[in-house]
Chain A
């Protein structure tokens, strides 16, 4: 063992560099902890205030008529959200998948680029602006309806479904398409018989994410299907329907703690739905990607 030619003790400058390194690491850790604790605080405060007001009546009864902070539940808001989001999905899913097929298999690179830009820009339009748009083309002439709300949500969902489906279609190996085409199968049969079935898992998880997003939207429903929780409702999509998001807003506007408890309970129900579906879809997407080797 000979003495090293130079000192292995850290010099002052190196010590300072390592100190900065550690400091930055600590800051990054702190930022991550902050984000997670904000999530925890929001989730816990919604859960602790919302869970206590939950009971079977809350899901199966309607808000009692008149000024009644404690009676009844949000049955029609749940039904309304189901109808509005369901119809929006029926409109957006076929359109989104068609656009994705065009983008991944048929369009020239330039046309695809224009379409992608349009989808991304539409995705960035504030949802309240989409609400105003649907108001002027539908509600101004025909009055409020759940269908108008569905149309607004569909405009929000199409770019999400189209982009996620396109991504999934690109994961399907070209060799599968080529094998089918080489057997003399026509292009459209290849698309619907080979490509779409193999992509189905990914398409559905992408759609689930879009549904979770749409179910949480309030702004586009405000003047399209804004039936207060104290009004009676049905499930006819041609009538204005209640929705869970509008119910939360409506309850929160009232000073009475009884109504606020209902806002929390509705928020808790909606939050559970949105978080569970989006987490499930994300996990499903990750598994699907792994399976496709993407």
Chain B
């Protein structure tokens, strides 16, 4: 403090920048975060505005009508909702046990050096662009589905209505298979991380009590990871519902509700991708935006649901919650 009065003049300006700098940083980063939150709201608003015409014309009956007639301007989403539910639902049904088995193999069974490599390979499957999977599904998998898989299913399970009818390279079955390939790595990599976070004491405790490895998995690992696995499945479902390109390329793009998996079909996302550029009447454009609004509602529900599964809402009284937040903050932990 002896030479405090001899401070060079430029230090004062630096002091000013420093004093202004912190609030500015806080403001700028806050605005950036506010933009990220606001984008969600703006997307919802634009979709609602864009679908107003179709909503006024068809109302909620849009959801229960099967017609999609661009000549007469009559539109309904039922067969698209059906196609979306069947493809995404079946893909999830096939993918979930596969993905959990892969995650178990990667965390419990695979020898250490193989784990990282196999894990990376599974994640690479998730990185393949959907248009490439669509191309592969159309030109490589499609002929196989038509000439091998569908005849086989007709021959063995043909008494069921799901496996009847003519065989094509594209259709519901092809879409299900491509979506399964997309969803498996997503669920597998999340599940694998969940398994890795289960405390080793729990595993070792079960093994020390004489449980076989599978009994340990069933009794300890799966119950401990259950909410997380459900969340991963929900995220995978959201991804399958929203996939447009690959489905557009391999599903046949037809309106109608059929029991057979061999039939052509279409989903909400694929219909938007296939028709939006060529739509020339306002009512058709608005109907397609209506489809997008339905997709947005589904994806919001699925994603928020998944988040709640991972981080349940805290129902304790507010004061107690804030105290807890503070306590955790001073410990250097985030409450989330």
Q: Which A residues lie at the B interface, using CB under 8 A?
A: 17-18, 20-21, 24-25, 27-32, 34-36, 38-39, 41-42, 45-46, 95, 98-99, 101-103, 106-107, 109-130, 132-133, 135-137, 155, 158-159, 162, 174, 186-189, 191, 212-213, 215-219, 222-223, 226, 245, 248-249, 252, 260, 263-264, 267, 270-271, 274-275, 278-279, 282
Binary interface profile of B, 267-294, with partner A (CB < 8 Å = 1, else 0)? 0010011001100000000001100100
Chain A nearest CB, measured from B85 CB (Å): 15
Report Cα–Cα, A226/B336, bound state, in Å: 41
- Which of A21, A32, A245 is the one whose CB lies under 8 Å from B212? A21
Main secondary structure of the interface of B (DSSP, over half): helix
CB-CB under 8 A for A28 and B104, given A112-B336, A222-B273: yes
Binary interface profile of B, 313-336, with partner A (CB < 8 Å = 1, else 0)? 000000000000100110010111
Q: Is the CB of B106 within 8 A of A32?
A: yes
Q: Is the CB of A101 within 8 A of B302?
A: no
Main secondary structure of the interface of A (DSSP, over half): helix
Q: Is the CB of A109 within 8 A of B21?
A: no
Report Cα–Cα, A114/B34, bound state, in Å: 10
Report Cα–Cα, A237/B137, bound state, in Å: 32
Report Cα–Cα, A66/B42, bound state, in Å: 41
Of all A-B residue pairs in the complex, the 5 with the closest CB atoms, nearest first, are: A126-B242, A216-B129, A31-B101, A102-B29, A98-B32
Does B175 reach chain A (CB closer than 8 Å)? no
Q: Is the CB of A125 within 8 A of B296?
A: yes
Q: Is the CB of A95 within 8 A of B36?
A: yes
CB-CB under 8 A for A249 and B249, given A31-B105, A267-B135: yes
Chain B contact-residue range equals 35 or more
By a CB distance below 8 angstroms, the chain A residues around B336 are 109, 112-113, 116
Chain A nearest CB, measured from B112 CB (Å): 15
Residue of A nearest to B242 (CB): A126
Q: List 22 A-B contacts (CB under 8 A).
A: A18-B212, A28-B104, A28-B105, A31-B102, A36-B122, A38-B125, A39-B121, A46-B135, A102-B32, A113-B335, A117-B304, A117-B307, A122-B36, A126-B244, A128-B292, A137-B42, A188-B18, A218-B130, A219-B244, A249-B131, A252-B134, A271-B129
Q: Is the CB of B50 within 8 A of A132?
A: yes
Q: Is the CB of A39 within 8 A of B32?
A: no
Q: Which B residues lie at the A interface, using CB under 8 A?
A: 18-19, 21-22, 24-26, 28-30, 32-33, 35-37, 39-40, 42-43, 46-47, 49-50, 97-99, 101-102, 104-106, 108-110, 118, 120-125, 127-136, 138-140, 181, 184-185, 188, 212-215, 217, 235, 238-239, 241-245, 249, 269, 272-273, 276-277, 288-289, 292, 295-296, 299-300, 302-304, 306-307, 311, 325, 328-329, 332, 334-336
By a CB distance below 8 angstroms, the chain A residues around B39 are 122, 155
Chain B nearest CB, measured from A151 CB (Å): 11
Q: Is the CB of B140 within 8 A of A45?
A: yes
Q: Is the CB of A267 within 8 A of B132?
A: yes
Report Cα–Cα, A107/B185, bound state, in Å: 33
CB-CB under 8 A for A118 and B40, given A110-B325, A126-B242, A129-B295: yes
Residue of B nearest to A220 (CB): B244
CB-CB under 8 A for A32 and B50, given A124-B235, A249-B131, A279-B124: no
By a CB distance below 8 angstroms, the chain B residues around A103 are 33
Q: Is the CB of B244 within 8 A of A127?
A: yes
Q: Is the CB of B135 within 8 A of A248?
A: yes
CB-CB under 8 A for A32 and B29, given A120-B303, A136-B50, A186-B22: no
Q: Is the CB of B215 within 8 A of A129?
A: no
Report Cα–Cα, A39/B138, bound state, in Å: 16
Residue of A nearest to B136 (CB): A42
Report Cα–Cα, A99/B99, bound state, in Å: 32
Report Cα–Cα, A269/B65, bound state, in Å: 43
Report Cα–Cα, A95/B127, bound state, in Å: 24
Residue of B nearest to A113 (CB): B336
Residue of B nearest to A115 (CB): B33
Chain A nearest CB, measured from B131 CB (Å): 4
Report Cα–Cα, A216/B134, bound state, in Å: 12
Report Cα–Cα, A42/B130, bound state, in Å: 12
Q: Is the CB of B304 within 8 A of A121?
A: yes
